[in-house]
Amino acid sequence: MSDFDKIRKSVSFLMDDNFRPSIILHVNGDIYSENVPFKMHFDSEKKKNINEIIDPASMHDWTRFSERAGKSEHMMMEIIKINLIEKVNSSVQMHLIYIPEIEKIIAMFDVPGMNKIPSLKTYYNAFKQSSNFMLLVDPHGEIIDVNEMHTVFINQTRDELIGQNIETVMAVVNPDNCEPLQTYFEKVKDQGCIQSVTTYQRSPDDIRYYHIITYYDSDTNMFIVQLSDATEKENLQVQLAHSGSLSAVGQIAASIAHEIRNPITTLKGFTQLLKVSATEDSIRYISVIEDEIERMESILGEMLVLSKPSKKKKSAFSLEVLVGDMVSILSPKAVMEGIEVIQQTELNSNPLIFGDSDKIKQVLLNLFKNALESMQIGGKLFIHLSEADGKLILAITDTGKGMTRHQVNQVFMPFFSSKPGGTGLGLPFVLKTVEDHGGTIAVESQVGVGTKFILNFPKVKESPLKSQQSIVS
């Protein structure tokens, strides 16, 4: 702890809990520190010595007290009447307290009108104890004070912030704002407050959304800048928008399912009749028609599953075994396309997950198939299964073409596809299925490097005997 912090802590009960303008002085009258009410009342000007605050006639009483204090080994207290230089005929009382342990004098001013602000203490406590990051800024943009939340929001200390221009802080949390400070302040004065939401990247893996509100206090001619963390709210809005998209897809699917299935049934019936009298060449064409009909039914099934709850039986099953089975199925395709599949497992036992194994098979099939299709000869597909904190973690990584940030943000949205002829329903199905099983899925991607999907599933906690009992969802 620095000497300044030690002194500040020892007199905090006078400087922080007292709402009169107060300063810490050396015995020679040089100003050591000021509290916020002092800065507010004296318009934040940089005062160097007590003689810049009180008039020459009042300096006689001050000098008499300071000389006695310099020779004393005991605490001294005195109230003197002084006149302020900046205010004509402004006679106020100055309470002086000498603390010999730190060899400093505390001066507190009974300024008329300060005690007429009943909310001052409430306001200052709210400022200091707020869960948001708050800055007190003078009309020139200089930061006068900050609360303790600076350590949470930005990587700067209190000493580094106080005295800085607010533009320095705003350039960090809102670099896209090019508006001149004084123009911004004039708008705040006219409107009372201005709000905005900005993206702040605290680290490569930590992107935050900050809600910035700037207020103007006409009584003190000060600006209050408040930053609150809106990351959770912004993420929730994205999830709600996504849920709304899924709901809309479900409604569309339900409304058109009947109309689509009727002509599909008719087409299937007539293709069967045509096969009876068809030539060999015609049968080839009919087979193509049947394949396309099956594809139409598959697309419709994917749309319906986005909105309908699962009605199948659920049970505990081994994700390790399921992954192994799906790798075996896709291995021939990978070999034919010149892609190496590397499977790694780091499990302490054979933990189970609870759910519909057929749905999880489809999830793995979609993800493996997407990975293979994104790569060329020489590509590698890494499949890593591990466990941590009661969860199974499945990472599927390819060395394919990767995706842009925009594509990553849209990848789970219905009908969005980067593949020619893609339906954009495969990954929404994957997301819904994983979430239905109590899991989560995340995606990381870089253009030209590859894509990584990370799935988390909760492990079964019941006893093996109980966990293998199937139930109807």
How does DSSP assign 56-108, residue by residue? HHHHHHHHHHHHHHHH-SS-EEEEEEEEBSSSTT-EEEEEEEEETTTTEEEEE
For the record, the structure tokens of 102 come out as: 């730190």
Cα distance between residue 278 and residue 290, in whole Å: 14
User: Where do you find CATH 3.30.565.10 in the chain?
Assistant: 313-472
* CA atoms lying within 13 Å on the CB side of residue 62: 26
Token match 């329903």: residue? Answer: 425
Neighbours of 134 (CB within 10 A): 24
For the record, the structure tokens of 111 come out as: 């300024």
Cα distance between residue 245 and residue 415, in whole Å: 10
For 243-255, what is each residue's pLDDT tens digit?
A: 555 566 566 666 6
Cα distance between residue 151 and residue 158, in whole Å: 8
Q: For residue 70, give Cα distances in angstroms to 28, 152, 425.
A: 9, 42, 82
Cα distance between residue 130 and residue 215, in whole Å: 15
User: Where do you find CATH 1.10.287 in the chain?
Assistant: 234-305
First-last CA distance in the chain: 60
Cβ atoms of residues 188 and 223 within 8 Å: yes
What is the dotted CATH code of the domain comprising 3-115? 3.30.450.20
pLDDT at 224: 86
The pTM for the full model equals: 0.39
* Burial (Cβ within 10 Å: 0-12, 13-18, ≥19) of residue 407: middle
User: Where do you find CATH 3.30.450.20 in the chain?
Assistant: 3-115, 120-229
Task: Give the CA dihedral 85, 89, 95, 100, nearest 10 degrees.
Answer: 30
pLDDT at 14: 55
pLDDT at 19: 62
The phi, psi pair for 315, rounded to 5°, reads -155, 170
What is the dotted CATH code of the domain comprising 313-472? 3.30.565.10
Cβ atoms of residues 368 and 360 within 8 Å: no
CATH T-level assignment (fold) for domain 234-305: Helix Hairpins (1.10.287)
For 188-200, what is each residue's pLDDT tens digit?
A: 888 878 888 777 6
What is the dotted CATH code of the domain comprising 120-229? 3.30.450.20
Using DSSP's 3-state secondary structure scheme, residue 415 falls into: coil
pLDDT at 17: 46
Cβ atoms of residues 180 and 151 within 8 Å: no
Cα distance between residue 449 and residue 153, in whole Å: 32
Adjacency order of strands within the sheet including 471-472 = 352-355, 313-318, 471-472
- Extract the residue ranges of the chain whose pLDDT is less than 70: 1-19, 40, 42-46, 87-89, 112-129, 150-151, 173, 176-177, 200-206, 219, 234-258, 298-313, 414-425, 462-473
Report the length, in residues, of the chain: 473
Q: Which residues pair with 457 in a beta bridge?
A: 392
pLDDT at 444: 92
Cα distance between residue 84 and residue 406, in whole Å: 62
Cα distance between residue 412 and residue 445, in whole Å: 14
